[in-house]
Amino acid sequence: MASQNKQSIFAREATGLTRQIGAWDAFLGNILAMGVAYFFVFAYFAALLFPGADLPVTVFVTLIPGVVVALLYYLFTVAMPRTGGDYIWTSRILHPSLGFMTNLVLTFTWLASLATAIAWGVSYGLVPSLAGVGLVDANAEASNLASMLSKTDNAFILSCVLIVLFILPVLLGVKAPFKVMWVLFAIALLGTLVTIAAFFSAPNATFAANFSNLSGMKYTTTISTAGLAPGFLVGATITGSIFTMTNFLGFFSSSYFTGEVKRVARSQVIAMFGSLFFLMVIALLIYSSLYYSVGPNFLNAITLLQGTGNAAYTLPAVPVVNFLVAFSNTNPYVIMLSGIALFATGLGGATLFAFVGVRNLFAWSFDRLMPTAMTKLDSKRGAPYVATIVILICSLVFEAVYYYTSFFSFYVFATLNLFIVFTMVSIAAILFPIRFKSQFAASPSIVTKKLGNVPFISILGVIGVVVNVYFGYATTSPAISPTPTAPLLHLLAFASVPLTIIAAFVIYGIAYFVRRSQGIALGLAFKEIPPE
């Protein structure tokens, strides 16, 4: 009877997912969600929107919130080691509708990130590097290829092909996508280290001379034309750290497939904290080498001229890091390796985002919030093939939105979504010992530790609310705004945040009444954590 009741509550008695993912694979997943070479683009955005921000210092500004969020996700993962991550925690502690809303917002963001990762790999990775080779090496073929890939239709077709190729491994079980991701990580890391070495090998005088001789612009004139005050600003550094923080967001991704992770308590320490500190080192090296060669005042100036459409900017590409490196080292192989680093980072991120999105859809369906067909597993490989096909189709739709509207030009909405998710998780942490007493009491001792009479996880939750509300505010308050070209789409981009939230409650309501009409009490599933 108990077995029948369990089966009627959940889609079936067991998920069918098995623990095949080790600590270093989980670490890899987090690294790819964060993105080794995304700093190449975020350095551009930070300098443009927050001139005066000291980029190396922003790494340390983000350390405290990064560690707080990592601790929260780690403790929850150990307390409730199930596939679905924050969906499981918030739906059981706060309310099923709030848990679904939190995770739907996250999954929407991951799909937006997947489309953006692929597109950035082409538009910010390959195109600027090809343009750089064409410029400094007088290579007409490279310039023509950059021009061809800059055309919307060509870039869209290539991106769709890449989406299919790098989501398909998710259909082959657990090991296949991680093998693909390890290869892409190795390529991305190699290209990133080559870029860092290229900058450190070229002092500022070398960069300035090459830029003035090869670009058609002048180094000192670029700085004076921009008219920005030299040096750094404390306010811009603190607020501008949002982009460094955005690049770090992803160290918690292993929580969403923790139901497939072996030795969770040990593995998630390596995965979450290891990935966070690894990428902090990479960020410091990228930012420091960039300042050493390019110079912070020039970086602020060149991004401002390009971002505001100033006629003084005559370069053939956006001044992202992998384009600027062409003036530090004119070797075409170095320049292309830099672009390939960003390209591989995007491909690896797409595979990871798809893998996580599939697990979230699986978790909703297992609780019967979605059609249970999405819990179907391939009999040979154990892959949730229906959920994977759904994610693949959604990814192609999101890619079309990226290329044929200006919606994703305002990618800040995706970052805001994540801080909403973190805030909900923080609130759940505060209430965990009160609202889900039985699970809290049954959790490992590291979860139930107290400072005085107050559970440590609840204290972290309070800190998390404050930190994440602040960073959510920072995403919407740039010091410099580029010329608005689509104010309606700008509005819609931010409107997607409340619209996604409203959609979550509508979907939950529909699921509730459909299941009730089928004689299934949907709420019963949320009184316990799902079986493994």
307 contacts 482 by C-beta, under 8 angstroms: yes
**Is the pLDDT score of 431 beyond 90?**
yes
**Residue 239 phi, psi (nearest 5):** -70, -40
* pLDDT number for residue 483: 41
Higher pLDDT, 409 or 287: 287
Q: Report the 10 Å Cβ neighbour count for 97.
A: 19
Model pLDDT, residue 257: 93
Q: What is the DSSP letter of 493?
A: H
Please say if the pLDDT value at position 488 is more than 80.
Answer: no
pLDDT value at 271 more than 60: yes
pTM of the model: 0.91
**Contact assessment for residue 122 and residue 331, using Cβ atoms and an 8 Å cutoff:** no
H-type helices in 319-411, by residue range?
Answer: 321-324, 332-366, 385-404
In the chain, what are the helix, strand and coil shares in percent, each to the nearest 5? Answer: 75, 0, 25
Q: Which SS3 state, helix, strand or coil, does residue 160 take?
A: helix
Cα–Cα distance between 130 and 336 in angstroms, integer?
A: 7
Q: How confident is the model at residue 413 (pLDDT cuts 50, 70, 90)?
A: low
Single out the residue of 27, 19, 68, 29 nearest to residue 268, CA to CA.
27
When the candidates are 3.40.50.1860, 3.20.20.10, 1.20.1740.10, 3.40.50.720, the CATH number that belongs to 2-404+413-527 is 1.20.1740.10
* pLDDT, position 411: 58
Rounded distance between C-alpha atoms, residue 475 and residue 318, angstroms? 22
Looking at every residue in the chain, the average pLDDT score rounds to 90
The dihedral of CA 363, 368, 373, 376: what is its sign? positive
- The 8-class DSSP code of residue 271 comes to I
